[in-house]
Chains A and B, each alone.
Chain A
Amino acid sequence: EAGVAQSPRYKIIEKRQSVAFWCNPISGHATLYWYQQILGQGPKLLIQFQNNGVVDDSQLPKDRFSAERLKGVDSTLKIQPAKLEDSAVYLCASSAQETQYFGPGTRLLVL
Chain B
Amino acid sequence: GNSVTQMEGPVTLSEEAFLTINCTYTATGYPSLFWYVQYPGEGLQLLLKATKADDKGSNKGFEATYRKETTSFHLEKGSVQVSDSAVYFCALSEFGNEKLTFGTGTRLTIIP
Contact = CB atoms under 8 A, between A and B. Distances in A.
A91 B42 CA distance: 11
Given A98-B32, A98-B51, A91 B44 contact: yes
* 9 A-B pairs closest in CB distance: A42-B102, A102-B44, A104-B43, A102-B43, A95-B98, A42-B104, A43-B102, A42-B103, A42-B105
Contact of B105 (A33, A41, A48, A93): A41
B14 interface: no
Interface of A: 4, 31, 33, 40-45, 48, 56, 91, 93, 95, 98-105
Contacts, number: 48
A4 B42 CA distance: 12
30 contacts: A4-B43, A31-B98, A33-B100, A40-B104, A40-B105, A41-B104, A41-B105, A42-B89, A42-B102, A42-B104, A43-B89, A44-B102, A45-B100, A45-B101, A48-B99, A56-B99, A91-B43, A91-B44, A93-B44, A98-B32, A98-B51, A98-B98, A99-B46, A100-B100, A102-B43, A102-B44, A103-B43, A104-B42, A104-B43, A105-B43
Interface residues of B, number: 21
A40 B32 CA distance: 24
Interface of B: 4, 32, 36, 42-46, 49, 51, 89, 91, 93, 98-105
Contacts of B101: 45
Nearest to B42: A104
